[in-house]
Amino acid sequence: MDLFPENGLRGSFPDYPRPQLQRAEWIGLDGHWDFSIDRTAELTGPEQVDWNATILVPFAPETPASGIGDTDFYCVVWYRRSFERPTLKEGERLILHFAAVDYAAKVWVNGIEVCRHEGGYTPFSIEITRVLTMDGPQEIVVRAEDDPLDLEKPRGKQDWKLEPHSIWYPRTTGIWQTVWMEVVPITFVESVRWTSNLERWEIGLEVHINGAISEGARLSVEMRSGDQVLVKDTYSFVAGALAASSLSAGEIHRSIELSDPGIDDFRNDLLWSPVKPTIMDIDLELLDQAGLVLDAVKSYAALRSITIQGDRFILNGRPWPLRLVLDQGYWEESGQTAPNNDAFVRDILLVKAMGFNGVRKHQKIEDPRFLYWADHLGLLVWEEMPSAYRYTERSVERLTREWIEVLKRDWSHPCIVSWIPFNESWGVPDLPDSPAQRHYVQALYHLTKTLDTTRPVIGNDGWESVATDIIGIHDYDDQPARMAKRYGVDEVERRLFEFERPGGRMLRVGEKEFGQQPIVLTEFGGIALRRPDDPTWGYSSCRTPEELLERYTSLLQAIRPLPALAGFCYTQLTDTYQEANGLLYANRTPKIPLDDVALATSGSTLDDSDPWVLLWRKRLMELQH
């Protein structure tokens, strides 16, 4: 599927579940599976299950889209389906992939347990070649355990009460992202990671090979930007080489210098940004010593830099004002699972149509296909770890392990410009008074900086910062004049950190002296459009669309020009269950005209003479209808 052929988004398959490592073919396993709810976790094996229902995967059983729609408490759910054995050539392997199963999964194939995985937001894979039968249908069974009362696991906005309350929403149990398979050769490209180095005009490549590497094997890399070939090179594997820029059996680390004709316009055209999201399509081929192709995959990368300089957020060497909107990633009928791939495109285009240049993905690790479209359509993404709600040794281990998996999965996406391991001290409730909890936040901040040196990290977004590159503040004061005064006074940092308490919380704890850092208002607004008798709520309320537009415009006119702020994030993109403070209804219908929102958000109307703006406006109109 090519939704934007006019812009040349070719060479990749946007429906592919793993968009940065794609093969020519894959086998989807979404659809109807046999299903059973084990409310008290009594059953231990597939033979004990009463398969009394059918569910539509990948939708969670709590959602209407699944065909189950059971929002009661239950601890375990079971899934079963059959598939036909694909034709496998000698030496080929069959890999079974789960994009996300919440929370702890156990998998059987043909009655043999093949895998266990813990973590509700990260993928896992298993080679199942050895357990396939030669004839007849093959059977997959999945047991997913997700105790609704367990507050020690990363759960994000999933409610621990039976009915959704306040800012928490229905639970997500079991399979909630796609299930799929692929046939791979005996030696294959297992993972790929890209790193942008704008200063040296290089793209860093890290490839891991699964299987034996013969002497003389090579990796071919072709990188293109549109019709311009930037790199066409072949690298040989050298067994036992230890130099960082060399190749070793099973692994390659290489800094690839881009072709540079020395023309500034060409250089600028290669840079990725929200206004011109240039993507480099990449073909990788694993070759044997005779030049025969062992494995071939497609990927992509982008060239851009993210840094912090003083109190500014810097993109590609220039200050970049952040205009973000809070995006919780829920849909009416399907919960945290997008109803289809077009839903990602529509959300991103709606965000851009309202004058925002990014989203803060709140308490959710989103489907990689959303990140694919954010990369290709030009949307900045702040990625935030779903919180646990208790501070224990077990919760520390669980969240840390899953956070590392998140970083590994999403490292290469150019759209991601910051990492957020904690939000509003959730999971560390005694942060100001507990040295251990402060050390935990500091440890996750420094661990993230260790694993990824290229992006800023917000250690604890909202308040009570103990280690951060950006001061994120949550402030739902609904009076524009007060907001302008609070963030517009002289010596704003000293006054903020010594005297102000948004949400009743200190903005910094621990160290007495901090260096200058960007300040971003990462939650504010939250104006609900609702009737007085409406059971929904917002941080403040209005009754008519006209009043909503007037209040939104007044608030943004107060916030947008403040020099002390490096940016803002408005709450929120869509209504989400009982929380009705979206700029869009839950079905993505705008509450107020998009162009009026864009003018208030950015201070100017969108440039319809820009071919890129015209292109995505046209596509948004098609999706909305």
Does 153 have pLDDT greater than 70?
yes
Q: What is the DSSP letter of 388?
A: P
Q: Greater confidence, 504 or 370?
A: 370
What is the C-alpha to C-alpha distance for residues 52 and 69, in angstroms, rounded to an integer?
A: 15
Peptide bond into 577 cis (omega under 30): no
Q: Is residue 306 part of a domain?
A: no
User: 3-class SS at 400?
Assistant: helix
Assess whether 91 and 116 both reside in one domain. yes
What is the C-alpha to C-alpha distance for residues 625 and 614, in angstroms, rounded to an integer?
A: 17
Q: Is residue 190 part of a domain?
A: yes
Host domain of residue 62: 30-177
Confidence band (pLDDT; 50, 70, 90) for 328? Answer: very high
Of all residues in the chain, what percent carry a pLDDT higher than 90?
79
What is the C-alpha to C-alpha distance for residues 26 and 541, in angstroms, rounded to an integer?
A: 48
Confidence band (pLDDT; 50, 70, 90) for 516? Answer: confident
* Mean per-residue pLDDT of the chain: 91
Assess whether 343 and 246 both reside in one domain. no
Name every residue whose Cβ is closer than 8 Å to that of residue 183 and which is 6 or more positions away in sequence: 25, 27, 86, 88, 92, 93, 94, 95
Quote the strand ranges of 425-488, DSSP E. 471-474
Task: Tell me what pLDDT residue 248 has.
Answer: 57
The candidate with the shortest Cα–Cα distance to 470, out of 448, 437, 486, is 448
**What tens digit of pLDDT does each residue of 584-612 get?**
999 999 999 999 999 999 998 777 777 77
Assign residue 142 the CATH number of its domain: 2.60.120.260
Backbone angles phi, psi at 142, to 5 degrees: -125, 130
Q: What is the DSSP letter of 449?
A: H
Of all residues in the chain, what percent carry a pLDDT higher than 70?
92
Task: Tell me what pLDDT residue 157 has.
Answer: 97
Query: What DSSP string runs through 23-75?
Result: -S--EE--EEEEEEEETT----SGGG----EEEEETS-TTSGGGT----S--S
Q: Is residue 309 part of a domain?
A: no
Confidence band (pLDDT; 50, 70, 90) for 569? Answer: very high
Assess whether 468 and 553 both reside in one domain. yes
Assign residue 290 the CATH number of its domain: 2.60.40.10
Task: Tell me what pLDDT residue 260 has.
Answer: 61
Q: Is residue 47 part of a domain?
A: yes
Q: Is residue 144 part of a domain?
A: yes
Confidence band (pLDDT; 50, 70, 90) for 266? Answer: low
Task: Tell me what pLDDT residue 246 has.
Answer: 45
Assess whether 323 and 295 both reside in one domain. no
Assess whether 111 and 232 both reside in one domain. no
Does 7 have pLDDT greater than 70?
no
- Which residue is it, tokens 């939708």? 59
Task: Tell me what pLDDT residue 512 has.
Answer: 53
* Helix 492-499 vs helix 480-488: crossing angle, to nearest 10: 110
Is the distance from CB of 295 to CB of 188 less than 8 angstroms? yes
- Which residue is it, tokens 């149509």? 353
Assess whether 123 and 192 both reside in one domain. no
If one counts the domains in the chain, the total is: 3
Does 2 have pLDDT greater than 50?
no
What is the C-alpha to C-alpha distance for residues 597 and 556, in angstroms, rounded to an integer?
A: 10
How big is the CA angle at 32 (ends 30 and 34), to the nearest 5 degrees?
120
Residue 53 identity: A
Burial of 506 (0-12, 13-18, 19+ CB in 10 A): middle
What is the C-alpha to C-alpha distance for residues 480 and 184, in angstroms, rounded to an integer?
A: 58
Task: Tell me what pLDDT residue 613 has.
Answer: 78
Task: Tell me what pLDDT residue 513 has.
Answer: 57
Q: Is residue 328 part of a domain?
A: yes
Q: How many beta carbons lie within 10 A of that of residue 219, not counting itself?
A: 21
Q: Please say which residue of 271, 301, 331 terminates a domain.
A: 301
Beta strands 27-28 and 179-184 are antiparallel
Beta strands 280-287 and 218-225 are antiparallel
Is the distance from CB of 446 to CB of 459 less than 8 angstroms? no
Residues 24-38 have a mean pLDDT of 96
Q: Is residue 310 part of a domain?
A: no
Assess whether 429 and 491 both reside in one domain. yes
Task: Tell me what pLDDT residue 616 has.
Answer: 73
Confidence band (pLDDT; 50, 70, 90) for 138? Answer: very high
Name every residue whose Cβ is closer than 8 Å to that of residue 533 and which is 6 or more positions away in sequence: none
Confidence band (pLDDT; 50, 70, 90) for 13? Answer: low
The candidate with the shortest Cα–Cα distance to 306, out of 184, 429, 197, is 197
Residues 362-388 have a mean pLDDT of 97
Confidence band (pLDDT; 50, 70, 90) for 263? Answer: low
Does 570 have pLDDT greater than 60?
yes
Does 461 have pLDDT greater than 80?
yes
Does 247 have pLDDT greater than 90?
no
Assess whether 611 and 511 both reside in one domain. yes
Task: Tell me what pLDDT residue 97 has.
Answer: 98
Q: Is residue 312 part of a domain?
A: no
**What tens digit of pLDDT does each residue of 403-445 get?**
999 999 999 999 999 999 999 999 999 999 999 999 999 999 9
User: 3-class SS at 490?
Assistant: coil
Q: Greater confidence, 494 or 24?
A: 24
What is the C-alpha to C-alpha distance for residues 18 and 558, in angstroms, rounded to an integer?
A: 42
In DSSP terms, 326 is beta-bridged to 360
Assess whether 56 and 14 both reside in one domain. no
Task: Tell me what pLDDT residue 265 has.
Answer: 58
